[in-house]
Structure 1
Amino acid sequence: MSKRSVYAWLVALFCFIVLMIVTPAIPQSQDYHNFADHRNFFGIPNTLNVVSNFPFLVIGLIGLVLCHHGNYFRLCLQGEIWGWTCFYAGVAAVAVGSSYYHLKPDDARLVWDRLPMTVAFTSIIAIFIIERIDESKGTVSIIPLLLAGIISIVYWRFFDDLRPYALVQFLPCIAIPLMAILLPPMYTHSTYWLWAAGSYLLAKVLEATDEVIYEWTHHIVSGHTLKHLAAAMVPVFLTFMLAKRNIEPERQSLLKTWRVSWTKFREGNSNVESYSYSYTNVQTVDSQ
């Protein structure tokens, strides 16, 4: 590991320690386990909140098969394959862990709901580092990031403090869209990252409005059930991206691409002055 990487990890650790010192502990609210929809069908407690996890199992297993069979991930670097394997394993495990939790919601079962999610979150960060920053650094970061996610769950369970887990969950929600927009991609079709981020944001909104949506729909479906379906679209969008993408011949960030498109639009419709720079939009070609 280079000195710069060591310094970066030390700075990150220092910032984390400072954050833990200056912020109060965040205990797990027991109201979290009180979901709006308690209905039972076919003898399954909280049925819709349980069975709505099934899409995670389907897309997770599909992703694992595609990672290691056929030509589907032919463009991926070796580190990316390891990262995507961890990601899809985490997605598939979400179905099991979340279903187990929703059968009888409590703190002990919530561990098995959150643990696979942290595997998926941290794997995505490592994949992004490989693609957008440096392959070797991203590959080396897979294990430390996974361990950081697992430790955040263990810390919460033993000390009833959600701060480390909150960082693991929400930091990717900020970092991934920013990196997707600002950093030049290695592959085409990188806008799928933003669709995935949007799906996760929608899932969090649905989760926060669980009871409201249950009332709006006249007790047909709750916000938490819809949250599972929206969150399951995250791996779906990313799988579509992997199916369609090719190597980007001229790496250009989404921000620059959008600025060029806006410049062309203004020049063609408003006859305003042109800018001093120009970029070439890369035409994407779907893989066969």
Structure 2
Amino acid sequence: MSQLSLLSRPERALLLFFGLLLLTGLFAPALLAPGVGGGPFADERGWAGLPHAMDVLSNLPFAALGVWGLRWLQWHDRTHEHVQDAAPLHPAAQPPVNLLDCAWMFFAGLVLTAAGSAFYHLQPDAVRLAADRAGMTVAFAGLIGCAVCERVSARAGWPAAWFVLAAGLLAVAVCHTNDNVLPWALVQFGGMLLVLALALVRPAQGAIGLRLGWVIFFYALAKLFELADAPIYEATHHLLAGHSLKHFTAALAALPVLHALQAMGRETLRHNSGAAAVTA
């Protein structure tokens, strides 16, 4: 029996989509963007000796939400272990393991995104831009994995996350060494196109209710702020630039993930009353 025949139709469609992206990245003509990496950005003000202060400090929401998510996942794992030791779990309260693994990757990626982006904005150049994109790739891979778990199948989410992680890091390396931004554009925009498509299909069995539409909304709004960096800086009379707003808004894409996970946690406690006494 063919291995493909063991896959569901949504899984085969996902495999085809990833295959098309991979072939495009490998064989399409290069999209060269030499010299990318040094900005310029509208707000170059320093503060208390910190260069480009707003573009650096505006990464704090990534770190805060990343740490929040990691702490919640740690609490959930500890609670689940205590409950499982006390009594068998109700079937409705079984945690979706692959989705939780993808969530660990996503929130860890947010912390790496905060560190990489702050490092880049301190002194923008091509090497630091590669570090920035590498952190973003980890978060992006985790998000794609969560979306696939929700709308394709739980078993497909973790492989999808690792595929995006490997492809993203390779794209960062290609962009840095050859100035070819096509692979990075395919990872970034192809990935968000996938999330948009998944937002329009019915949730898979075992889905926890992740609202992908809100993820897309915050991502699209962040892109608009990024494109309007200088106009927003002028419109706010040099109070805040579009790129700083981009960081704030992009970080908000973590909120739908947190909300869905916390709702799942409450459902676990509801089906296992003994777990209510187990706290962090």
Task: Work out the CA distance in 2 between the residues paired with 1:75 and 1:35.
Answer: 47
SS in 2 for 1:42: coil
The answer to whether 1:112 aligns with 2:131 is yes
Unaligned runs of 5+ in 1: 249-287
The 1-side partners of 2:119 and 2:25 are apart by 33
The worse-fitting range, judged by mean Cα deviation, of 123-132 and 226-235 is 123-132
Question: CA separation of 1:135/1:234 partners in 2, compared to 1, >3 Å: closer, same or farther?
Answer: same
Query: Displacement, 1:56?
Result: 0.7
For the residue of structure 2 that corresponds to 1:70, the secondary structure is: helix
What is the aligned partner in structure 1 of residue 220 from structure 2? 201
Q: How far, CA to CA, are the matches of 2:208 and 2:96 in structure 1?
A: 15
Tell me, in whole angstroms, the C-alpha distance in 2 between the residues paired with 1:205 and 1:213: 10
Quick one: structure 1 residues 155 and 164, their matched pair in 2 at CA, closer, same or farther if it must change by over 3 Å?
same
8 Å Cα contact 2:37/2:126 also seen in 1? no
Equivalent pair of 2:21/2:190 in contact (CA under 8 Å)? no
Q: TM-score, normalised by structure 1?
A: 0.77
1:202-221 CA-partner distances (Å, limit 9, x unpaired) = 00000000000000011111
1:67-146 map, 5 Å: 67-70=73-76, 76-146=95-165
1:216 to 195, 214, 235: 235
Which residue identity does 2:46 align to in structure 1? N
1:28 to 1:85, Cα distance in 2 relative to 1, 3 A: farther
SS across alignment from 2:31:
coil
Deviates further, 106-115 or 238-247: 238-247
- Is 1:36 the counterpart of 2:42? The answer is yes
- Single out whichever of 122-131 and 107-116 deviates more from structure 2: 122-131
Amino acid at match of 2:147: F
Aligned to 2:55: 49
Of structures 1 and 2, the one scoring higher in RCO (CA 8 A, sep 6+) is: 2
Tell me by how many angstroms 1:19 deviates. Answer: 5.7
Assess if the C-alpha contact under 8 Å between 1:210 and 1:222 holds in 2: yes
Give, in angstroms, the shift of residue 81 of structure 1: 1.4
Shift in Å, 1:223: 0.4
CA distance in 2: counterparts of 1:57 and 1:129, whole angstroms: 24
Question: Is this contact kept in 1: 2:151–2:201, CA < 8 A?
Answer: no
* 8 Å Cα contact 1:122-1:168 kept in structure 2: no
Superposition TM-score, scaled by structure 2 size? 0.79
Q: Given the superposition, is the C-alpha separation of residues 239 and 101 from structure 1 closer, same or farther in structure 2, using an over 3 Å criterion?
A: same
Distance in 2 between the 1:171 and 1:36 partners? 28
Computed over aligned residues only, the root mean square deviation of the Cα atoms, in angstroms, reads 2.8
